[in-house]
Amino acid sequence: MVEKPKRVLALAPMPPEACAYALARYSRSPDSIRESLDWVRRHDSSRFLEHYYFQYGHASIADLGHLALCFEGVSELAATEIEDEPLWDGQAKSSRYQDFSRAPAVIPPELTPAQTQTYLRIAAQLLATYSRIHEAVSRLLAEKLPRPVDMPEDAYRRNLAARAYDASRYLLFLGVPTNVGQVTSIRTLEKQIRRLAVSEYAELRELAEEIRAALAAPPACAWYEGSPAEAVAPTLARFAEPDEYQRSVRERLREWARDHLPPPRGEALTAVDLIRPLNQEADAVATLLYPVTDRPFRELYELALEWSPARRREVLELAVAGRGERDELPRAFRSAPYAFDIVMDIGAWRDLHRHRRCHQYRQAFTDRLGYDVPPLVAEAGLQREYRDAIEAALAATAALPAPAAHYLLPFAMRSRFLFKMDFAEADYICRLRTGVKGHFSYRRIAWEMKLALEREEPELGRLIQATPPWIEDPLRR
């Protein structure tokens, strides 16, 4: 019997630039993939990528090569910035699995030796209180929640410990170390390097350089026998330049906001405020100003609606001035029907930040919006100790230079974040993040999002099958 020719061919993992070249050539020649691979073996992928991707800007070619990268011993702050790409796949190590006795804190490179001492002293105090609270809350939970007969002892201990971490993690701070593993296309990786290279945080700027160095060298970890000698992605290492356009837009908008905005309205804080921005121009203006101010989105949107067209144009033009042929418009020009302006603790945001089918904007981390006390901490009688640790950290941040001072902000601190999305993503987030396995802090936010949608869009909002925060199953993970 004649064997049917294979129609589906799996390729062994390849260097990402060679893979991009092979697949790009495959789509532009009559050859089979086998011939394209032979061709690529005999030709220089670097020259192809340099020519078509970096010089002609055929951006989609770079979507054809993927790469796994791991970041070890970076701060939680750096992890959130690394993850801040919509087309990004990855996971960060949960703080539950991090051994803080080995590496308590990532030191922001901006700090002087004297400031570093203060930083490490406060970091040690926060971590010591974190451990004490974890122990006390674990004991409290063991008293309150006896082991169900059908639950193995080790699963029971694990679940109790996880719940206790839910409370103690409020004392972790943005400078604690974590690990991130990511898989991205080289197109996303280029954007990531360019963005990190103009970050306001020195750690991120250093990481951008370290990524380039890792790409210019053979892989640090090999799967198959014998380490490959080829550089991982040499063309990307050479051509990914800092995104100066993004940096200049940020600086211009910040200056404009400082000089032109009226005094703040000073309204009461709302955890979740849902706005449906129907005017696209005012929406873009408000979204451009949001990350460079500390105003609620509603206030900025209403201001932009009141302004003359000429004033709105001023802001819009600041955002496109100096834009190069290959520069993407700032993220603020992306819109969606629902804008959720959320005031939540940094810990809850770290989790919600991971949703990619939405557009996210963050204001500077702050100590102005207060902090939360988890009910279990109060129940364990440790409220005073908890507050003292946080207040000491806040006092120390006041003496550190911005933005490096953010590294000492505990996860308990509230900040302001804007999430724009369509109904499908709102449904996804509300269902997933109200589930009983989740952290009580983001469960409350996701529940508030559903309630806000129900008020604005009763017929759609009622379709969301979310779990109310009062339904609990603390022994389920």
Ligand X SMILES: Cc1cc2nc3c(=O)[nH]c(=O)nc-3n(C[C@H](O)[C@H](O)[C@H](O)COP(=O)(O)OP(=O)(O)OC[C@H]3O[C@@H](n4cnc5c(N)ncnc54)[C@H](O)[C@@H]3O)c2cc1C
Site residues (vs ligand X, CB under 6 A): 87, 91-92, 94, 354-357, 428, 432, 437-438
Of 333 and 428, nearer to ligand X (C-beta) is 428
Residue (82 or 389) nearer to ligand X, CB: 82
> Which has the closest alpha carbon to 87: 303, 256, 331?
331
Report the C-alpha gap between 347 and 457 in whole angstroms: 29
252 or 450: whose CB is closer to ligand X? 450
CB of 466 to ligand X, least distance (A): 13
CB of 166 to ligand X, least distance (A): 11
| Neighbour count for residue 46 (Cβ, 10 Å) | 18
442 near 477, Cβ under 8 Å?
no
Torsion of CA 299, 302, 304, 305, to 10 degrees: 180
CB of 287 to ligand X, least distance (A): 19
* Beta carbon nearer to ligand X, 250 or 355: 355
Indicate the Cα dihedral angle 299, 301, 305, 307, nearest 10°: 70
Residue 87 or 269: which CB sits closer to ligand X? Answer: 87
* Nearer CB in complex with ligand X: 15/177: 177
CB of 355 to ligand X, least distance (A): 3
**Considering beta carbons, is residue 305 or 432 the nearer one to ligand X?**
432
**In whole angstroms, how close is the CB of 89 to ligand X at the nearest point?**
8
Q: Can you tell me the distance from the alpha carbon of 284 to that of 315, in angstroms, rounded to the nearest whole number? A: 9
Least separation, in Å, of the C-beta of 431 and ligand X?
10
Beta bridge partners of 339: 275, 420
Give the residue from 312, 307, 306, 298 showing the smallest Cα distance to 265: 298
Pairing of β 89-92 and β 177-185: antiparallel
Minimum CB–partner distance for residue 362 and ligand X (Å) = 16
Give the span between the Cα atoms of 211 and 192, in whole angstroms: 10
- CB of 192: closest distance to ligand X in angstroms? 15
Cβ nearer to ligand X, comparing 171 with 352 = 352
Whether 338 contacts 426, CB under 8 Å: yes
| H-state helical runs in 107-262 | 113-144, 153-168, 186-196, 202-216, 234-239, 244-260
For 29, half-sphere exposure in the C-beta direction (CA atoms, 13 angstrom radius) is 15
Secondary structure percentages of the chain, helix, strand, coil, to 5: 55, 10, 35
Which residue in the block uniquely carries the two structure tokens 């006041």? 398
